[in-house]
Structure 1
């Protein structure tokens, strides 16, 4: 268990310092060339079928869709597994993430890209709400499932699935022209900070003698 806590500690502070550095680079406009290069590559793949796929991934990264998935997971945890504490973990991550994202966007006030948009959307750009929502939901879902999967292959499959969903949703925002790549990375780091904090508190609670 100490090894797990050490990994969470490293992940937490890695996300924290990563977000601080990313925030500074974004505000100082040091990532303009990086963003433009990635956007050029991603949007260079534009095709009608791919656009539809990216719109699909963007849709499943919306808070509305994630709330629907969260309700389904909630019902499964409550009625099938009867794991009430894990429900608190899930809800804490999923429903606090949009609040955190809103506060960060209001603080940074970064305008969205204004070129080659394939969909229209308002609001500020950094950090990406879709990236934060996707990372929070799919990473905490992977954690909760991972705890109940006994085989290495099963656990690897869970991690691969959640990683693909997170990356695909993040990429869809760049492809559709509504976010800079640095917005996506910032969103991943911000959610990584929050998710690891919640998991750490969960693990600490589970370690208490009266909790076992």
Structure 2
């Protein structure tokens, strides 16, 4: 990995850790947070077209959506690069990240927003699973796309596209009334850290195998 990129990811991970810990403190010490009310009020809408659109975005972070996109990414890596370490990284990061999310939800025990849920939900609220597992998957996809795309323009397009998917996915959970904004921000924070750890694991394994060859 490029040392500059590694340093940037490390700094962002430290920032994500600070945000995650701070949100844990807020969520476990207060029932109603001003930041949730302030952010959620900006995105309140009853427009059916907007709700339908964000319903599609939220599917990108559902179990079916994550599974389909993950399988597609594994297939592409297999057919084009034969990078089995990258395939294992994506599979393990997403699967184990989902389990970590469940543990955090059960440990924190935050209930969902007391609003009409516009998407089916069956678990607790903090951190958002869609946001956390979504950022893990699409962050790793962005990383490998940037790694393997040769053109600078292509790298930027891949990075921006994945970033937009992550942001719109998280925003959909607020618009559909199934998560507080802090649930989504917390999901991003913990997911980013988890994704960065798996990027480091990938790079260390690749370096180890190179030395053994």
Q: TM-score, normalised by structure 1?
A: 0.92
Give 1:2 deviation, angstroms: 3.5
Secondary structure of the equivalent of 1:164? helix
* Structure 2, unaligned runs of 5 or more: none
Partner of 1:207: 207
Secondary structure of the equivalent of 1:147? helix
1:160 paired with 2:154, answer no
Q: TM-score, normalised by structure 2?
A: 0.92
Give 1:12 deviation, angstroms: 2.7
Alignment of 1:81-96 (within 5 A): 81-96=81-96
- Offset from partner CA, 1:64-91 (integer Å, 9 cap, x none): 2211121121122123211111111111
Alignment of 1:1-212 (within 5 A): 1-29=2-30, 32-43=33-44, 45-208=45-208, 209-210=210-211
Secondary structure of the equivalent of 2:43? helix
* Change beyond 3 A, Cα 1:180–1:211: farther
Which 4+ runs in 1 deviate beyond 6 A?
none
CA RMSD, 1 decimal: 1.8
* Structure 1, unaligned runs of 5 or more: none
| In structure 2, distance between residues paired with 1:207 and 1:196 | 17
Whether the aligned pair in 2 keeps the contact of 1:11 and 1:196 (CA below 8 Å) is no
| In structure 2, distance between residues paired with 1:159 and 1:46 | 31
